[in-house]
Structure 1
Amino acid sequence: MKQTAMDSSVFFLPHEIIRNILKRLPVKSLIRFQCVCKDWKNLIQNPSFIADHLQQSTHQNPSLLLECNGINIPLPWRLNLMDCGLQVRGVQNSTSNHYLRNNASIVGSCNGLLCLEIYQFNQSPHSLSLWNPATTEVRHVPKTITDFDDFDDGVTGFGFSPIVNDYKIVRTFADFYSDVIEVEVFSLNRGTWKAIDIGNLKGVKLNSETITANGAIFWSWVNLVDEKKENIDFHEDEDYIQEAEYGVDVIVSFDIAKEVFTVIPWPELGYDVDVKLTVYENKLAILCDTWEDEAEIPFVIDLWVLYEGTCASGETWSWTKRYTSSPLSCRLVPATIWRNEIVYVPGSKEHDDEGRINVLYMMNLTTNEVKRSVIPNRDSILGIYNYVESLVSVGNNYIEES
């Protein structure tokens, strides 16, 4: 009897060890393992486990999501994932979600959720959906309160706030090539839209490119110049004068928890650059692509990081240059930061014996080492996003059982 009791105890694992093992597994396996027993199902659906699994995946298994140009190809086949081993695979999707086969684009990627804008003929604005590719869950976002027929233009942003534990979509409304007139916010927890005060967006036209970091959504934007403003430095170049008279580039921040917009100045670069918004150490950052005027070849890539908090000068926001690359021998355009590496796309097309190929270059921020990776998909890359598999639900929040 004692021997039997001892043998049976060998197969017992404490709850914490089981949890520690399961949180390291891929989402596909965890979905299957919910059928093992009720305790495992409750654990895998527990909000604290979902958060632990997300944290583990973020640090151990981050991926790059590549959005490619696949004309007349369903959306799932336009997406590829590159893992830490630089292996590329296609993103699979549930066959029941036929509407995802329409032409779509990614608004943003956050904690394993994608916000998609679905283009439909004669429909404006385009419909929105939230999709978790790992769990294949999809949620259709309802129409906004505002009638878009009264407007011609607008932009959309998507992000998460750990303070309120909520994912939100921001959609602005504007006249064509004009400043923002109205703003609505969709809360995943509420499941509804609500109109908010545009606040600091008066006289502003937003750019469509967004980045989310540390509980905020960021846009590059143009501050329409007030006719009363003075001391504007105009150059003799006619095109520059026309641009300067229109507006000044700055950045807009949307605090997801407080639902408030803030205007942030660019750093004083002192040189002409192409700029890409990105995230570094969970803070807003910009990659500055500088080049030699005559050769039109980038000379260096600078990384500037935005820090919040009152500094010696009294400013609330301060920019710090954190990195400058070695001179580059060919034109590389920065796309994002991934695993302490700057990801670039080549400035000109590359080919092999069979035709055009997609190539990514990665420069390590610590060693300056550059790696080159060829992507199997030959379609044009439209966007590159940081992505991690997660159990985060696009539906109602899971209820933790006591």
Structure 2
Amino acid sequence: MVISVCEKVRNHIPNDLSFFILSKLPLKSLKRFGCVNKTWSVFFENPNFMIEFCNNFISIPHSYYNDASLLLYQVKWNHNHTYMSFPLYLLSGERFENKVKLDFPNPFQHDNPGYYILVSGSINGILCLYDDEDMIILWNPTIKEFKVIPPSPVDSLPPYRAIMKEIHGFGYDPVRDDYKIIRKVGFINVTDDDDDHHVIPSDAQWEDMCENYEPFWEVYSLICNSWRKVDLVLPTCCSEGSHYNNDLLYLDGMCHWLSISHGQYGEQYLVSFEFTNEVCFTTLMPTLVFLDTDPDNVLHPAVVLLNGSIASILGYTTTFHISILGKLGVSESWTKIFVIGPLSDDIMYPIGAGKNGDIFFARKEGREPICFDLCTQMIEELDGVKGAYYSKIIIYKESLVSIGQINH
């Protein structure tokens, strides 16, 4: 007598045991196993299961955070807004009370070296920095080693073209043991009458900037120490033109960013670029059902790495909905697991996620950022951390990886 796999599973695993086991699985595995048994497939409709799943999701440590620390990156103005500083702190302690300032690399001995930091975490201990002059630096703070990335061939174009270079991702190619950067390059005509040659075009203007100079994408390889043009057409980052972008992620050989299809209220996508095969995936982002609410009060969505998973944070006024992604390219695999709030009306937007279910939020200018603990549902102040114009939380893991050895 032939017994189906489903009948075997049903006969040998009681529902209470399957409830216990499945609640500890990652979402990707749970979605897959839901096809085995109808009872399992409806666990997400069971409030008790969801409570258990959420508790396990934030309490079971993920290997991504082994030996990891937190970096707090800030952009600050002085009292009369004439001077900008870029402090970077290593945080530790139960309430992040231990704060050590790190000094950015200063290859050209500037009086005030300041950089923006790409993506929300270091990659094998390496951070990718860039500044307003299109300088890019790879930096390992642990061994105090850095490398200035050489210019692209596009920089030799005639001076009457203004060049816009927008970095979209930094990551690791595990097959080639290489570190790569991907960015989009566009052009506009300039004349002597133009006061600002660095105006960032809108997303629609990227495709219509110049008759003879089409925008394109290029990838930098650390092993080759050079840029090369790639034959790709990718959706651009919805925060393009802004250095203050918390929505660039890296995880398992892929970088991710948010893109909007048509204007402010268009469909929003997670764009995922794989560094090994240099291919792209898009995933429609979750949305809020507005009912009687005003869509103008919906905050710009954010994506963070939450306990090793890609998470969407979508806010309406002071309430934030958190969903995690089960499978790239499958919008139906977004699963809402937390609703935070309503919080204080001075909380503005998420600036990153830490370990064990910590979500960090920016507050109105001049007020220090806060941490919301998903385990305790409590807000914690960051002792000794002052407010800033802009703040960002970065996951950092110390490493002895030498950038120079990779390059050679």
Q: 2:280 aligns with which of 247, 253, 261?
A: 261
Alignment-mate amino acid for residue 266 of structure 1: M
Say if 2:254 and 2:272, in contact at 8 Å, map to a contact too.
Answer: yes
Flag structure 1 segments of 5+ consecutive residues without an equivalent.
1-54, 121-125, 225-241, 292-297, 350-355
Q: 1:359 aligns with which of 368, 374, 388?
A: 368
Please state how far the C-alpha of 1:243 moved relative to its aligned partner. 4.4
Say if 1:74 and 1:102, in contact at 8 Å, map to a contact too.
Answer: no
**After the TM superposition, which residues 323-334 of structure 1 pair with which residues of structure 2 at under 5 Å, given as runs?**
323-332=338-347, 333-334=349-350
| SS of the residue 1:366 aligns to | coil
Tell me, in whole angstroms, the C-alpha distance in 1 between the residues paired with 2:118 and 2:322.
24
Please state how far the C-alpha of 1:106 moved relative to its aligned partner. 1.5
Alignment-mate amino acid for residue 132 of structure 2: Y
Please state how far the C-alpha of 1:387 moved relative to its aligned partner. 1.9
1:123 corresponds to? none
Q: Do the aligned partners of residues 170 and 84 (structure 1) sit closer, same or farther apart at CA in structure 2, a change above 3 Å counting?
A: farther
Tell me, in whole angstroms, the C-alpha distance in 1 between the residues paired with 2:170 and 2:323.
23
Q: Deviations over 1:85-129 (max 9, x none)?
A: 311121145777725943422223423222111334xxxxx1111
Q: Do the aligned partners of residues 57 and 66 (structure 1) sit closer, same or farther apart at CA in structure 2, a change above 3 Å counting?
A: same
Q: 1:179 aligns with which of 206, 210, 218?
A: 206
2:145 is the alignment partner of 1:137: yes
Q: 2:315 aligns with which of 263, 285, 289?
A: 289
1:338 corresponds to? 354
2:72 corresponds to? 65
| SS of the residue 1:98 aligns to | coil
Tell me, in whole angstroms, the C-alpha distance in 2 between the residues paired with 1:95 and 1:184.
26
Alignment-mate amino acid for residue 239 of structure 2: N
| SS of the residue 2:277 aligns to | coil
Q: Do the aligned partners of residues 243 and 364 (structure 1) sit closer, same or farther apart at CA in structure 2, a change above 3 Å counting?
A: closer
Q: 1:371 aligns with which of 372, 377, 380?
A: 380
| SS of the residue 2:333 aligns to | strand
2:256 is the alignment partner of 1:218: yes
2:130 corresponds to? 117
When normalised by structure 1's length, the TM-score is: 0.65
| SS of the residue 2:219 aligns to | strand
What root-mean-square deviation, in Å, do the aligned CA atoms of Structure 1 and Structure 2 show?
A: 3.3
Tell me, in whole angstroms, the C-alpha distance in 2 between the residues paired with 1:259 and 1:170.
10
Tell me, in whole angstroms, the C-alpha distance in 2 between the residues paired with 1:160 and 1:133.
18
| SS of the residue 2:261 aligns to | strand
Please say which of residues 179-188 and 92-101 is displaced more in the overlay: 92-101
Please state how far the C-alpha of 1:288 moved relative to its aligned partner. 1.6
1:249 corresponds to? 268
2:335 corresponds to? 320
Say if 1:179 and 1:205, in contact at 8 Å, map to a contact too.
Answer: no
Q: Deviations over 1:306-346 (max 9, x none)?
A: 12268xxxx47721112222432444222111012333335
Q: Do the aligned partners of residues 258 and 207 (structure 1) sit closer, same or farther apart at CA in structure 2, a change above 3 Å counting?
A: farther
Say if 1:170 and 1:186, in contact at 8 Å, map to a contact too.
Answer: yes
Residues paired across the two proteins, number: 300
Say if 2:354 and 2:360, in contact at 8 Å, map to a contact too.
Answer: no
Higher relative contact order (CA 8 A, sep 6+): 2
Alignment-mate amino acid for residue 334 of structure 2: W
Please state how far the C-alpha of 1:143 moved relative to its aligned partner. 0.7
Q: Percent identity?
A: 21
